[in-house]
Amino acid sequence: MSSLFSPLQIGPYRLAHRVVMAPLTRMRATRPGDVPSALNALYYGQRASRGGLIIAEGSQISRSAQGMPATPGIYSAEQIAGWKAVTHAVHAKGGIIFLQLWHVGRISHSSHQPGGGLPVAPSAVRPAGEAFTATFERKPFETPRALETDEIQAVIDSYRQAARNAREAGFDGVEIHGANGYLLEQFLQSRTNRRTDAYGGSIENRMRLLVEATQAAAEVWGADRVGVRLSPFGVANDSGEAEPLVLYSRVVEALGTLGLAYLHLIEPRASGAGQAEVDHQGVPSAAETFRPIWPGVLITAGNFRGDTAEAAIAAGQADAVAFGRLFIANPDLPERLRSGAALTPYNRGTFYGGTEAGYTDYPFLGV
């Protein structure tokens, strides 16, 4: 029977344990340029462990893909150089690191966009809530501009180039962010995709962009070094589908034919956990629901503790568990979970923006 500390093969990599660091937006890239810095390299290096997998934070694939201030990109030479220091720090500890490729779509603000233009989306449907502006203010979301059909290929090309850049930066693979109400999920879901072209209407059409972006990354890396993250029952960033089981069963089946490194599912009980303390009740388990139709490695994430993660692995519901907030506050989380040591509580007020406080100053065991 597998446990949280059994080895696991993901693509060409053999993990020493199944405690994965989830991708976490922290808004600490250097501006201008949204470039990873030495501070970011220290942060990731602290959380690396021999044979452990880190999925680095969502990184915009182009300038127009950005939706929050001081989030890193993976489209410029300076950003590639900055990420090289991060991957070196992780590899020096024997760790494995994938980069999450990110396009936020409508979850943006014109202050982030080239020339102050409107954010793009599958359709001109304004999200509820407020955006983070380029100056860290909160303002109501704007109505996005619907992408023209002939613009979509450029988006796919941006995923492909971002995958190339991640390889140049020394990553071990990439994860396609198809969750949490961002662009690829906006295309998947009927409430945000009202298109009538080849990228709208039927489920096959709505999932076309996700599949093509994933295939573009696989052309660069090989499919066994590409993962995909989904939130099938999530409600983050004004997302949601009337019949998610029908949609996501088809999506998971389609992705399952590609030979990917893994599928990474966010549990619905934790949807929106980055913004507030949540524990949604009466919701299904994403891992339990889609495990029977996913043929490869399955990573689950969302409000797990050490004991519940161990139970999920032992029951075969998932092959690995990704931790977010606990990894923020416990840079040596795998060792703490292995030994049963106490966990340091996280400080939500330091999640987004800032410098060392709440980022690289959390204690290690015995310090």
Give 100-131 pLDDT, tens digit per residue: 999 999 999 999 999 999 999 999 999 999 99
What number does CATH give the domain 8-350? 3.20.20.70
| 41 C-beta neighbours (distance < 10 Å), count | 21
Q: What was the pLDDT predicted at 277?
A: 79
Q: What is the pTM of this model?
A: 0.97
pLDDT (tens digit per residue) in 61-103: 999 999 999 999 999 999 999 999 999 999 999 999 999 999 9
Closest CA to 163 of 152, 176, 151: 176
Q: Point out the least confidently predicted range of 39-48, 243-252, 277-286.
A: 277-286
Confidence check: pLDDT of 325 > 70: yes
Q: What was the pLDDT predicted at 348?
A: 96
> Residue range 141-167: average pLDDT?
98
> Residue range 142-167: average pLDDT?
98
Mean pLDDT of the chain: 96
Cβ atoms of 203 and 247 within 8 Å: the answer is yes
Q: What was the pLDDT predicted at 278?
A: 66
- Helix and strand element counts for the chain (H, E): 11, 14
Q: Distance (Å, rounded) from C-alpha 191 to C-alpha 237? A: 13
The residues spanned by each domain of the chain are 8-350
> Residue range 358-362: average pLDDT?
98
> Residue range 317-334: average pLDDT?
98
3-state SS class at 131: strand
Percent of the chain with pLDDT over 90: 94
Residues marked active site are found at: 182
Cβ atoms of 122 and 194 within 8 Å: the answer is yes
Q: Distance (Å, rounded) from C-alpha 219 to C-alpha 81? A: 23
Q: What was the pLDDT predicted at 1?
A: 64
Confidence check: pLDDT of 280 > 90: no
Q: What was the pLDDT predicted at 283?
A: 79
Distance of CA 286 to the CA centre of its chain: 16
Q: Distance (Å, rounded) from C-alpha 192 to C-alpha 353? A: 29
Helix residue ranges, H only, the chain = 38-46, 77-92, 152-168, 183-188, 203-206, 208-221, 244-255, 286-290, 306-314, 325-329, 333-339
pLDDT (tens digit per residue) in 161-220: 999 999 999 999 999 999 999 999 999 999 999 999 999 999 999 999 999 999 999 999
Q: Distance (Å, rounded) from C-alpha 26 to C-alpha 355? A: 10
> Residue range 129-149: average pLDDT?
97
Q: Distance (Å, rounded) from C-alpha 335 to C-alpha 259? A: 31
Confidence check: pLDDT of 157 > 80: yes
Which residue has better confidence, 272 or 353? Answer: 353
Which tokens sit at 143? 């109505």
